[in-house]
Amino acid sequence: MSLNLDKNLKLYYSIAEVAQKFGINESTLRYWEQEFPYLKPKTRGAGKVRQYSDKDIEQIQLIYNLVKVRGFKIAAAKKIINANRTGADKTAEVLSKLIEIRDELQLMKKQLDAII
């Protein structure tokens, strides 16, 4: 049996880690939890420490793409998600991939400019 080194072994992420990953405030995540009922991180302990799973992070990615990247208002984002969940997921996935490709191309351009 071989060990899978590529697999992410972390099951839950703190609110601070998730906020940092997306470059938003923790209060924004708390607000989104109130506005989007399917975004429910696990809470634990007396202080109700939020623990976000990979599924929660996928939900946040979708909301982030609609609200922060594409500029929709919260109400419009809710409407889009409720009307066409699958389409919204695919659009967010495609947008993320395009942003990744753009960043790679910009890096390549910088490297080529440095050579010339």
Q: What is the per-residue pLDDT for 85?
A: 64
pLDDT at 114: 86
pLDDT of residue 32: 93
Q: What is the pLDDT of residue 74?
A: 92
Alpha helices in the chain (DSSP H): 15-22, 26-35, 54-64, 74-83, 85-115
pLDDT of residue 69: 86
Q: Residues in the chain, how many?
A: 116
Asked whether the beta carbons of 51 and 45 are under 8 A apart, the reply is no
Predicted local distance difference test score (pLDDT) of residue 88: 63
pLDDT of amino acid 98:
80
pLDDT of residue 1: 44
What phi-psi label fits residue 8: left (phi over 0), alpha (psi between -120 and 50 degrees) or beta? beta
Q: What is the pTM of this model?
A: 0.66
Q: What is the mean pLDDT of each run of 10 residues along the chain (116 residues)?
A: 56 90 92 89 76 88 88 90 70 75 90 85
